[in-house]
Each structure stands twice: as C-alpha cells, then as structure tokens.
Chain A
C-alpha cells in the first residue's frame, strides 16, 4: 500500500468555562430552549463588541503547553469572513498565524509513543457558531432552516496537526491521549454531546489532499479515515486521479461523500479583529500558569511508578480512566497502601463496575466510597480477611453503603488462620481429589489447583499462605 498521510483539525469546546468566549451567557448551552441563552453580543446585534473571557485564554494556554507548543507574549484575533446562517455576525472571530503574530500555541510536538511524535501546527482560540435544526415537516419550511444561537460564542480550542499520521490506528491512539490530556487539564469534558469535533485530511503520497468534515465524535474518526483510505487506494489502483476536494462524513451510512464544491470555496478575507486589542500576556504568564496547571497524564504516570511503586500496566489502567485515578488517590490519601488499593480497584471494583454499570459517571453515583476501599485494604493487610472475601464485601458495600467492618461483623467472614480448621478442610479436599493429589507430588503447578479447592471449600476465607504450606507438608507426609 502507498504511504498514507493524515492530518487532523480538532475542535474541543472549553466546557469548563462558566460563560461564553465573548459575552456573559452560559458556556453550557445544552438542554435549553432555543435562543434563550443569548444576549446582544452573541447574537450579533448592531453595536455590540466582543468582550473576551480571561479564563478561556488560560485554558487555551494550558492546552498549548500540554501539546508542547510555544506560547507568544502577545496574542491577537482575526476575523474569518463567510456567510452562514448559524454565524450571527457572518464572520467568526478566530486566530491566524501571519505577519509576526501567532495564535495562542504554535509549533508543538506531541508524543504518540516511544517511536513517534506528532507535530502540532497550532492551537487557537475561537468562537463556536450557533446550530441549525432542519425541520422536515410542512411545505412552509421547505426552504428555511431553524436557527438556534444558544451555542453561538461558546469557546472552542482548535488544534491543528501536521499530516504526520500514517495509519488510522495512530489517529485513534492520538485522540485517546488527547482526550485524556484535555480531561486532566480540566478543559473539556469530551463525553458531552458535541464537545469535540474533528476534521481530517487524508492524502496518498504524491496525491491531492482530501478533507473530511463533520465528524462529530472521536469514535467515528477512525472509521471515516479507513473508508477514505480504502476509497483512495482503490482509485489509485484504477489509475484514477484523486481530486483536491472536501467530503463529508455520513455517520449513518458510514461513508464519505463529496460536498457541493461551491459552498466550500471560500475567500475568507482574514484581517485583524479591530474590536479586540492585542492581548499582552507578559513574560511570566506561561511560567505562572504552569505553577497551578493540573498534572498531565504522563506526569501522573511517572508519579505512580516512582512514588507509588505501581507497575506501568497498573498505572496506565488507572490513568486511562481519569475518574478512577482520582478515586484511587482519594483512597491513598486515607490509607497509604497504593499497590494493594490499586489491586482492589482494578481487579475487584472495576470488574464489578464493568458488569453493573454503563454510566460514565459511575464513581460519583456509587455507594462505595474511598473510605470503604481504604478500610477494606486495611483489613486485607491486617490479615483479617482474604482477598476473595474482600471482593464479596465490595458487592455488599455497593448494595447497601455499609462499612467493611460492619460487613465483617455481620457475616463472620474473618480469615481462617487456625491450622486445625485448615487441616480439616485440606483433609476433605485430599479425599475428594485423589488423582490431583497424585499429580501434585510430581508437578508443583498442581498444588495451586488443590489450594483453589481449599479456598473454595472455605468460601475464600482460608489464609492462602498458611493453607499452601499445610498442603505442602501433607503432600510430603503422604509420600513417606
């Protein structure tokens, strides 16, 4: 196959903001009656001026820093002129890299994995347009679209990459890492409807660039690229010229289709936005911001490995689910035993949740609280209960919200450390598993099988260490 080159243009809303980019309407426009979250400014009424949100600049700067971009001392805004019914002013206030001024972030580098880095062309701050709801009913509305400005003016961060991806899978990895990063900075809740959107450009080596617009979730991006790569490859194989064009992604049919060329041909007539002066960030802006910038995923990873002594695998599982990682840290704050807490969360709690919950916000709605996990781990480490018992406890806590010690008292689930009781259990298992006992004499692996049977017989309460040593003793005894 020919070399494929893929570049991305990602739009992420700064969902963390309370207000819009240029006015004091709600940043969160979701679930509101049409055109009720608007003011004179964001609906573009004559005589109004954009009043830029300080916090939006901070979030965009953090994103730029996290993507390894340079942030200039001064930034400015540009107007991008085009007519569209969802654009109240019929121009968009955005940024543009020309004539000595750059957008808020430029020339970044983002590590995909050990062997690959993606160049970030720029990070810019801009306003979201409104939304168009097409009505299908009635002759009267045949030609007209219904426009809602509630979203108009919400703050967007646009991230543009160089065409450095050669495989759709790399794009997936990138978008996952990016989402995680945005979530860690607290810029964007990527799971909110419409919070992230992606335009993609795909070209074969030596061929023209094809842009794909309208991909409204990260999940669809890989599918759209796969479709486009297949399409272009087959055209190439049939010696058909790939035209420079814009296509749209149809997420119902899962295909890209050619946009009408006319509406995509724009002469945007960029020029500096006269209503927003050049914003002087100052020399210490970035260093000050770094001081209170939330920890990034890779920094968190390093801390988990070095300070908490977690394995890289365990660290990754926690960090890839930011809310779980936050939960983990709350537990560790109460009782410092990171390795055991991580084990309980990953092997027990997570499997339990995966089975029982579809909700993305499962942790905050759950009855199991960090105090419970901390106490549970204390019981395990104090040799009071076995790890298998702990798993049963979790289910009970999740159902009723009672504390582990209450469960312990009410169920009499103390770990069995008493050798006499254990010996009786082992005797029973040996009687029932004669052939396994024979195997075990020659094959040390089979001992684990016997131990498992003992655990099962004691309903998981047997202390596995003591039980294992008793099984070994009994095997040696019966040999003689």
Chain B
C-alpha cells in the first residue's frame, strides 16, 4: 500500500469507514509527514496536532459505536490562514494579526467539521492574500515542492504546496484574482474558484470582497467535488451567498463546446503555450469541439482588477487599528494624532502599497477616473464573456502565462508581479467559476490549464476536468519530497 499521506480524500474516507486504518492512525501519519517535510516547505503557519488527533479519536469512537461519521470523515484539511478558525490562531500572515485567535468558525469550517473533516492547521499566504508567490508572507516564504528554489505561487501558496507534498489531504484557499488557481498551477494540483456567492465568505478575512471566493485545492478533481458539495450553499451570514445544486461526478452533459482564448495563449511562455495546445488536442480527441476566440476588453481587465481590489482592500484593512485584538502597546502612546498611523505601520510593504493605491483611486477627484471606470469595465467584460458562453460551454487557456519562477526573482518589482495575474483575474471580475488542472511539466516545473464556465456551471468545469484527467495522467505528488 502507498503511504497514507498519499491517499486522496475519497480513499481516506473509504479506508476509515472500511476500517483499513483508524482516523487516529491516518492523522498521526499526516502529522508525521508535516514534521518530516515542512521545515523544507514552510507551508504551515500553525499546526493543530492536538486538536486534529482528538477529532480523529472522536471519529474512531463513532465508528465503534456505529454512529454516522460524515462524508468527509477523517479527511485532513489545511486551511489558508485568512479563514477564521475558532480557537486556532488566524494571522493572515500579518504581524498585525500575529496573536489573533478568533472566537468563531467561518461557515466553511463549520460545515467541514460537521461532515467529519479534520482541521490540521493553518497555511501560509501572502499577507492578507496580496501577492502571487507567498513571498509577501510576514513570516516566511513557502517553497515549491517540485523544486524548493521556486515559488509555489500565491497567494494560497501554503495551500498549494501542502497538498502537493501530501502534508494534508486537501486544503482550502481563497481566490481574489487567481490565488487558488495560481498555486494549483505552480504545484501541479487541482484548484477551483467557485461562482461568486456559491461559497459563503463568512469568516474569510476580506481582501477584496466583491471579487473573492473560498475554494478547494486537491490532488484530484473528485476530491474537489467532494469539498465543494460540502462548503457550497446559501448562508444566512453572507448576504452575497447564493443557492446551488450539488456537482455530480458522473453527469450526463455529454460533449461540450470549448473555445481557447487567443490572447491568453499568445501572451504566454512558449512551453506553456505548447502544453496548453496539446491539452486542447486531447479535448478534441474525446469529441469536444474546440475553436479559438478573442476577448476585446482583455487589456483593461488587469488595470480594472488592481483598481477595484486595492480600493476595497484599503477600506477592509482599516479595521486593523489594534484596539480590539492587537499586540501590547505602551499606554503613553495612545495619542490621537499618531496612534492609528503608528500601530498600522506593522503592515508589510506590499499591503501598504495596495492600501495607498486604494486610497488614491477612491480619493476625491479620482473616484470617477479610476474606480467608476473599473466598475464599468467589469460590467462590459462580464457581458462579453456571457455572450461567449451563449456559444461555448467553456473557455480555456493557460492558468499562468509563465512557469514557476525562483524565489526572489520578482520581489523587487512589485509591478511585474502584478502582471502574472492577467489570465486569472477575468473569472474574478466576471464572478464566474474557473478551475486549474495540471496538464504537464517543463523542466520539471508544472503547467496548469485554466477552464472557465458561465456562472453556476461548475458541473461543466468538472466534466471537462474529469475527462481530461482520464486522458492524461499528470503527476500530482513530487517524488523528490
């Protein structure tokens, strides 16, 4: 038998229910795995071994008592550290929240726990989700398990690396402009950003509320479906959440119409382009139709994204003023003029830059020049994409225009870093679902294919992804680690 830590989520549930191993044994092996490899990867910010083991024991007891243990029983989940977990420190990889222990569980956490999933710990990210490499974590960079010198992508870099390295069965990330799909692509795993509203954001610590969603990162499409079916649904605690129907593993949608977005292919590295084209050929082989299309408003997408995300961030992050849950602060320093600015200088540089840009685009005189135009573009882009979805079931292209790069390579030029999000922000701006699935390697570095669908058409994403998974077997677990 393979290592326990290599099992997929559905295999874990089968194994525990079938009493091939106990939940405690499984969780124990995962904790051991983290102890073995995390000093190299640095995926985790907090590991809750004690909590995870005691949850595992409860499951084992329930099995003995023949009590229902839930559809995710024993599945260990790593949680991006910007999702609120009751009693477990939640830092957003920021100095400003270094000691913050939430008093409540995010809705997704509550649902996962109710279904027997075990929270293993909290995963590294770019501070507050702002970044594409996890280098902007205030604590440390996470390393790509395929090559430790390389970035794992971001901002959910811990979530991508931990799943690829078998440190947890599955993980949750959040995706504001590609933060689930980018690390999924760079780490050769599956990452799904749901339709806006499909998953409750209650407990997701906001970076840009109108753009972001929580979603799963897994080593198989089937695992992603299992997680999605648990965490989706309308939530009384999130007025922007919507109703949804479960995703099926075997649907009856049949052959789908696919379009490749020309600009995204043309703007990518040669190896990326080649690999994505060959994946599209596989779609043709299984009987899908495949054409090329153009998106007119593409050039405006990234400027619009950075305008809106920064604007919302500048307001969302205003609450970090140290008054409620902060660090000790000398009482003599509570001066009106300096207090706020003084405590808030503890943000990292990238967060500061985005707050400043956000204040700039919202400040009087600039609002209609930037913010309103960005909202307008967003509407135009959504209309354009919806029109394409009248004709095609799915739009595809590379998830990332480039291969994973070395740690430190782009850190000195924040603007260059922004440009790598160009393919992924489309789905956030339009509120549509998108998935990244592994399609190949170049020099041992993973390449991901992005598939987008119309709002609430996650089923189509899953159908196409499963079909591709059946056709091309791409390695999900690096052997080197």
CB of B100 within 8 A of CB of A275, answer no
User: For window 86-106 of chain A, which residues contact chain B by CB distance below 8 Å?
Assistant: 88-91, 99
- When distances are taken between beta carbons in the complex, the residues of chain A under 8 Å from B315 are 79, 81, 91, 269, 271
How far does the Cβ of A37 sit from chain B's closest Cβ, in whole Å? Answer: 15
Specify which of A47, A143, A270 is in contact with B204 (CB 8 Å cutoff).
A47
**Chain B stretch 362-393: residues in CB contact (< 8 A) with chain A:** 362-364, 367, 371-372
How far does the Cβ of A95 sit from chain B's closest Cβ, in whole Å? Answer: 16
From the candidates A48, A144, A270, A274, name the one contacting B312 in the complex (CB within 8 A): A274
Which A residues are CB-close (under 8 A) to B208? 274
Q: Which residue in A44, A51, A81, A83 is a CB contact (below 8 Å) of B362?
A: A81
- The answer to whether A85 touches B319 (Cβ under 8 A) is no
- Please pick, from A40, A47, A140, A147, the residue contacting B206 in the complex, using a CB distance under 8 A: A47
On whether the beta carbons of B209 and A274 are closer than 8 Å, the reply is yes
State in angstroms the CA–CA spacing of A89 and B340 once bound together.
13
Complex contact A271–B362 (CB within 8 A): yes
CA distance A276 to B238 in the complex (A): 9
B84–A46 CB distance below 8 A:
yes
Are the CB atoms of B324 and A45 closer together than 8 Å? Answer: yes
Tell me if B209 and A275 are in contact (CB < 8 A).
yes
Closest chain A residue, CB of each to CB of B311:
A271
Q: Decide: A47 near B106, CB < 8 A? Known: A141-B331, A276-B239.
A: yes
Q: Would A47 and B331 be within 8 Å (CB), given that A83-B321, A89-B318, A271-B315 are in contact?
A: no
> Which residues does chain A contribute within 8 Å of B336, judged by CB atoms?
143, 263
Verify A143–B363 contact, CB threshold 8 A: no
Q: From the candidates A46, A51, A147, A274, name the one contacting B236 in the complex (CB within 8 A).
A: A51
Bound form: Cα–Cα A85–B335 in Å: 12
List residues 236-293 of chain A with CB under 8 A from any CB of chain B: 263, 267, 269-271, 274-277
User: Residue B409 at the A interface, CB < 8 A?
Assistant: no
Instruction: Please give, as numbers and ranges, the residues of chain B lying within 8 Å of A52 by CB-CB distance.
Output: 239
Cβ-based interface call for B170 (8 A)? no
Chain B 387-429 interface 0/1 with A at a Cβ cutoff of 8 Å (1 = within): 0000000000000000000000000000000000000000000
Q: Is the CB of A81 within 8 A of B318?
A: yes
Contacting pair B363 A269 (CB below 8 A): yes
- Known contacts A90-B319, A141-B331; decide if A50 and B324 are in contact (CB<8 Å): no
Interface residue? B125 (CB, 8 A): no
Instruction: Determine chain A's interface SS by DSSP, over half rule.
Output: loop
Contacts of B371 in A (CB 8 A): 271
CA distance A48 to B83 in the complex (A): 11
Q: Which of A1-56 contact B (CB under 8 A)?
A: 40, 43-52
* Alpha-carbon distance between A53 and B150 when the two chains are bound, in angstroms: 49
State A83–B321 Cα separation when bound (angstroms): 9
Q: Does the CB pair A144–B331 fall under 8 Å?
A: yes
Do B90 and A46 touch (CB < 8 A)?
yes
| Known contacts A46-B90, A81-B362, A274-B312; is-contact A88 B324 (Cβ 8 Å) | yes
B320-341 vs A, Cβ < 8 Å mask (1 yes, 0 no)? 0101110000011111100010
Query: Is the C-beta of B257 less than 8 angstroms from some C-beta in chain A?
Result: no
Q: Please tell me the number of chain A residues within 8 Å of chain B, measured between CB atoms.
A: 36
With A83-B318, A269-B314: A44-B324 Cβ-Cβ less than 8 Å? yes
Q: How far is the CB of A280 from chain B (nearest CB, A)?
A: 12
Interface pair B318/A48, CB less than 8 Å apart: no
Tell me if B372 and A99 are in contact (CB < 8 A).
Answer: yes
A202 to B335 Cα, complex, angstroms: 32
Measured between C-beta atoms, what is the minimum distance from A136 to chain B in Å? 15
Interchain CB contact under 8 A, B340 and A271: no
Number of interface residues of B (CB under 8 A): 49
CA A51 to CA B234, docked complex, whole Å: 13
Contact A47 B363 (CB under 8 A): no
Q: Using A143-B334, A275-B209 as known contacts, say yes or no to A40 and B103 having CB atoms under 8 A apart.
A: yes
- Nearest CB in chain B to that of A46: its residue: B205
Does A40 contact B104, Cβ atoms closer than 8 Å? yes
Asked whether B191 is an interface residue with its Cβ less than 8 Å from the other chain, the reply is no
| Chain B residues with CB under 8 A of A79 | 315
Count how many pairs of residues, one from A and one from B, have CB atoms less than 8 Å apart in the complex: 111
CA distance A351 to B210 in the complex (A): 61
Instruction: Please give, as numbers and ranges, the residues of chain B lying within 8 Å of A275 by CB-CB distance.
Output: 206, 209, 238-240
Is B15 part of the contact surface with A, judged by Cβ < 8 Å?
A: no
Q: Does B305 contact A (CB under 8 A)?
A: no
**For residue A142, which residues in chain B have a CB less than 8 angstroms away from its CB?**
332
Q: How far is the CA of A89 from the CA of B83 in the complex (A)?
A: 18
Chain B residue nearest to A23 in the complex (CB) = B237
Chain A residues near B158: list those with CB within 8 A: none
Contacting pair A144 B311 (CB below 8 A): no
Query: Which residues on the B side are within 8 Å of A143 (C-beta)?
Result: 331-336
B128 to chain A, nearest CB (A): 10
Hey, what's the 0/1 contact readout for B341-375 against A, CB within 8 Å counting as 1?
Answer: 00000000000000000010011100100011000
Q: Are A267 and B103 in contact (CB-based, < 8 A)?
A: no
Given A89-B319, A143-B331, A143-B332, residue A50 in contact with residue B239 (CB < 8 A): yes
- Pairwise interchain contact A47-B239, C-beta atoms closer than 8 A: no
Q: Is B89 an interface residue (CB 8 A)?
A: no
Q: Is B186 an interface residue (CB 8 A)?
A: no
Q: Which residues of B contact A270 (CB under 8 A)?
A: 362, 367
Picked from B100, B238, B314, the residue with its CB within 8 Å of the CB of A46 is B100
By a CB distance below 8 angstroms, the chain A residues around B104 are: 40, 45
Tell me the nearest residue of chain A to B338, going by C-beta: A143
Asked whether B362 lies within 8 Å of A45 as measured between CB atoms, the reply is: no
CB-defined contacts of A89 to chain B, threshold 8 Å: 318-319
Assembly CA distance A419 to B404 (angstroms):
116
Is B314's CB under 8 angstroms from A140's CB?
Answer: no
Asked whether A49 and B238 contact (CB < 8 A) given A90-B319, A143-B333, A271-B371, the answer is yes
Q: Does B92 contact A (CB under 8 A)?
A: yes
Whether B239 contacts A49 by the Cβ 8 Å rule is yes
Chain A residues lying within 8 Å of B82, measured Cβ to Cβ, are: 47
Closest Cβ–Cβ distance, residue B332 to chain A (whole Å): 6
Which B residue's beta carbon lies closest to that of A79?
Answer: B315
When chains A and B are docked, how far (Å) is the Cα of A89 from the Cα of B316?
A: 8
**Bound-complex Cα distance A81 to B204 (A):** 21
Asked if B97 is at the interface of the complex by the 8 Å CB criterion, the answer is yes
Q: How far is it, in angstroms, between the C-alpha of A91 and the C-alpha of B317 when the chains are bound?
A: 10
**In the complex the two chains form, is A47's CB within 8 Å of B209's CB?**
no
A197 to B202 Cα, complex, angstroms: 33
Q: How far is the CA of A267 from the CA of B208 in the complex (A)?
A: 21
Q: In the docked arrangement, what's the CA distance between A126 and B103, Å?
A: 26
Cβ-closest chain A residue relative to B90: A46
B324–A47 CB distance below 8 A:
no
Instruction: Specify the chain B residue showing the minimal Cβ separation from A85.
Output: B323
Roughly how many angstroms separate A277 CA and B106 CA in the complex, as a whole number? 20
A277/B240 in contact, CB under 8 A: yes
Q: How far is the CA of A85 from the CA of B238 in the complex (A)?
A: 26
A45 & B325 in contact (Cβ 8 Å cutoff): yes
Q: Is the CB of A271 within 8 A of B202?
A: no
Cβ B321 vs Cβ A47 within 8 A: no
Asked if B122 is at the interface of the complex by the 8 Å CB criterion, the answer is: no
Task: Report how far A187 CA is from B182 CA in the complex, Å.
Answer: 51
User: A236 → chain B, closest Cβ, in Å?
Assistant: 31
Q: Do A46 and B323 have beta carbons less than 8 Å apart? A: no
- The answer to whether B209 touches A144 (Cβ under 8 A) is no
CB distance from B257 to the nearest CB of A (A): 31
* Contact in complex: A47, B240 (CB < 8 Å): no
**Hey, which chain A residues are within 8 Å of B314, CB to CB?**
81, 269
- Residues of A within 8 Å of B102, CB to CB, are 40, 45-47
* Cβ–Cβ contact B372 & A45, under 8 A: no
Contact, CB under 8 Å: B318 / A91: yes
CB-CB under 8 A for A51 and B318, given A88-B324, A141-B331, A269-B363: no
Contact of A144 among B334, B362, B367 (CB under 8 A): B334
Q: Report A-chain residues with C-beta under 8 Å of the C-beta of B319.
A: 44, 46, 88-90
CB distance from B360 to the nearest CB of A (A): 10
A-B contact pairs, 16 of them (CB 8 A): A45-B324, A46-B84, A46-B206, A46-B319, A47-B90, A47-B205, A49-B202, A51-B236, A51-B238, A85-B323, A90-B321, A143-B333, A147-B323, A263-B336, A274-B208, A274-B240
CB-based closest 7 A-B pairs: A90-B318, A269-B362, A144-B334, A274-B210, A274-B209, A143-B334, A46-B205
